[in-house]
């Protein structure tokens, strides 16, 4: 098992390029199953979750050609459906939450799909009800095959329907959207997720011949077509990584430029970090962050303590709550962090407290941070990464701490961040990857 040995207190300086968006990649890679023609996807991040998903598709019978470090061509013209009931699929699919995304394309194109219980990390329960309610509205039936320990979804003739989703689930919307693209008639999805990643999926599907309107809103209309053709698609830069670099720059008093961020797709992210007192400057499609001795948290107009909470798009993404929390540690002022969506995502703060941070964990969803304004420096400790985003938050804390920190379970970080140690070391960090 690999570990990070982090020597803190070093300022970063230079340029860094964000990887392609992980959450978009998980969706668009699965979309290749909707056509028998070739689909080329570029700017794919070289991270564990993406590699696992590509391997899973390859074992399913999809022809996979690697054109370069970040570009692949897929062709799903000879798919082996029987693979979905194999022990190999159960093991591989069960360890990867993204495997859920193959259900919609497989169901609509082949009339049947199987899904293991979703795996991934430990941030809390992730409901899949929305997916199945949507499939049922299209005419599919599902049951749990206890002997196979798999969910079976069947629907030979899907028909368009109106549906009001019980929650604006990104993966649920994407899955239903893909299923509806080849269904008969018109499907209307109200309370649809509208994240940029989902907009990208819609753009890709429309380029393949789908008829989707309302893109970017919470009301999508899909007119089913008989077949889809091949296309080429380029991923957006990863907004979570961009947000992580913004917080990292502030905490370590660094001057960095984040290149090619697709600024118009970042939504409220720059605003939220601005409220934490971080100065950032848009330069074309780059973000420049100057070195700051101190950064002071805003208060609300009535003088009350700033609250940062997650919300569905265009609100603040839950994936950056951990980063906002660790950034607030060395700010001047107080912040309440409210993580609404996942009940276990704040449990990593006990490690930050051990490092010297002034944090009160109010309950599983809320943490109150009393910013230390750099008057007290965090100290290096040994700790483990419970999930992807908490892992990077702990890495940021370690980079700002006095002395050496050791982070275990860094496979969680590798699931979401490509060569993060190498890229940060290139601009001044001191992170050593070791085998424990």
Residue 53 scores a pLDDT above 70 = yes
Residue 124 scores a pLDDT above 50 = no
Q: Please report the pLDDT score of residue 146 as a whole number.
A: 80
Percent of the chain whose predicted confidence (pLDDT) is above 90: 83
Query: What does DSSP assign to residue 12?
Result: P
Handedness of CA 337, 343, 345, 349 (dihedral sign): positive
Q: Please report the pLDDT score of residue 93 as a whole number.
A: 80
CB 306 within 8 A of CB 300: yes
DSSP string, 355-400: TT--EEEEETTEEEEE--TTSS--B--EEE--SHHHHHHHHHHHHH
Q: Which domains does the chain have, with CATH numbers?
A: 2-19+237-435 (3.65.10.10), 22-234 (3.65.10.10)
Q: What are phi and psi of 382, to 5 degrees?
A: -100, 135
Q: What is the pLDDT of residues 200-248, one digit of tens each?
A: 999 999 999 999 999 999 999 999 999 999 999 999 999 999 999 999 9
Catalytic residue among 49, 77, 121, 285: 121
Q: Please report the pLDDT score of residue 144 as a whole number.
A: 81
Residue 99 scores a pLDDT above 90 = no
CB 317 within 8 A of CB 240: yes
What is the pLDDT confidence band of residue 90, given thresholds at 50, 70 and 90? confident
- Assess whether 49 carries a catalytic annotation: no
Query: What does DSSP assign to residue 237?
Result: B
Residue 125 scores a pLDDT above 50 = no
Q: What is the pLDDT of residues 388-409, one digit of tens each?
A: 889 999 999 999 999 999 999 9
Residue environment code for 37-60, b if the CB has 16+ CB neighbours within 10 A, otherwise e: bbbbbebbbebbbbebbbebbeeb
Range with lowest mean pLDDT among 110-124, 199-213, 285-299: 110-124
Q: Please report the pLDDT score of residue 341 as a whole number.
A: 83
Query: What does DSSP assign to residue 432?
Result: E
Residue range 306-310: mean pLDDT, rounded = 96
Q: In 239-285, where do the E strands start and end?
A: 255-258, 281-283
Rounded to whole angstroms, the Cα distance separating 138 from 131 reads 11
CB 6 within 8 A of CB 430: yes
Residue 158 scores a pLDDT above 60 = yes
What is the pLDDT confidence band of residue 178, given thresholds at 50, 70 and 90? very high
Q: What is the pLDDT of residues 7-44, one digit of tens each?
A: 999 999 999 999 999 999 999 999 999 999 999 999 99
Percent of the chain whose predicted confidence (pLDDT) is above 70: 97
Rounded to whole angstroms, the Cα distance separating 342 from 209 reads 36
What is the pLDDT confidence band of residue 126, given thresholds at 50, 70 and 90? very low
CA distances from 138 to 39, 76, 117, 133, 227 (A): 26, 23, 22, 9, 17
Residue given tokens 């994936």 in the structure block? 319
Residue range 251-261: mean pLDDT, rounded = 98
Q: Please report the pLDDT score of residue 183 as a whole number.
A: 98
Residue 128 scores a pLDDT above 80 = no
For residue 56, give both structure tokens.
Answer: 């899973």
Give the mean pLDDT of the chain.
93
């Amino acid at each position: 098992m690999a570990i990070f040995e982090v020597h803190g207190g070093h300022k970063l300086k230079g340029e860094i390029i964000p990887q392609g968006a992980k959450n978009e990649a998980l969706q668009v890679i699965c979309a290749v199953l909707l056509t028998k023609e070739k689909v080329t996807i570029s700017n794919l991040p070289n991270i564990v979750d993406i590699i696992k998903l590509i391997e899973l598709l390859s074992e399913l019978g999809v022809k996979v050609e690697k054109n370069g470090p970040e570009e692949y061509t897929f062709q799903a013209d000879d798919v082996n459906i029987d693979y979905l009931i194999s022990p190999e699929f159960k093991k591989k699919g069960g360890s990867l939450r993204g495997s859920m995304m193959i259900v919609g394309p497989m169901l609509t194109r082949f009339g049947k799909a199987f899904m293991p219980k979703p795996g991934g990390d430990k941030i809390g329960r992730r409901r899949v009800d929305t997916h199945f309610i949507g499939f049922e509205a299209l005419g599919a039936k599902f049951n749990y095959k206890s002997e196979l320990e798999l969910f079976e979804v069947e629907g030979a003739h899907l028909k368009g329907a109106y549906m009001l989703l019980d929650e604006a689930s990104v993966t649920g919307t994407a899955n239903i959207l893909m299923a509806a693209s080849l269904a008969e008639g018109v499907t209307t999805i109200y309370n649809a997720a509208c994240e940029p990643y989902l907009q990208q999926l819609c753009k890709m599907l429309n380029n393949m011949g789908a008829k989707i309107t309302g893109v970017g809103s919470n009301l999508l209309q899909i007119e089913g077509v008989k077949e889809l053709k091949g296309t080429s698609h380029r991923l957006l830069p990863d907004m979570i990584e961009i947000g992580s670099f913004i917080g990292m720059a502030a905490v370590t008093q660094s001057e960095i430029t984040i290149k090619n961020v697709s600024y118009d797709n970042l939504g409220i992210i720059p605003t939220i970090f601005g409220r934490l007192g971080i100065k950032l400057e848009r330069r074309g499609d780059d973000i420049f962050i100057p070195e700051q001795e101190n950064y002071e948290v805003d208060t609300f107009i009535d003088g009350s303590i700033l609250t940062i909470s997650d919300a569905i798009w265009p609100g603040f993404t839950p994936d950056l709550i951990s980063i906002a929390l660790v950034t607030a540690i060395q700010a001047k002022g107080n912040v309440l962090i409210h993580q609404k969506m996942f009940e276990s995502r704040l449990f990593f703060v006990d490690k930050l407290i051990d490092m010297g941070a002034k944090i009160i964990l109010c309950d599983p969803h809320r943490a109150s941070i009393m910013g230390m304004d750099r008057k007290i420096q965090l100290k290096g400790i040994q700790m483990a990464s419970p999930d992807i985003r908490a892992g990077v938050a702990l890495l940021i804390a370690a980079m700002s701490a006095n002395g050496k920190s050791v982070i275990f379970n860094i496979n969680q970080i590798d699931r979401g961040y490509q060569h993060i140690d190498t890229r940060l070391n290139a601009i001044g960090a001191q992170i050593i990857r070791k085998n424990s």
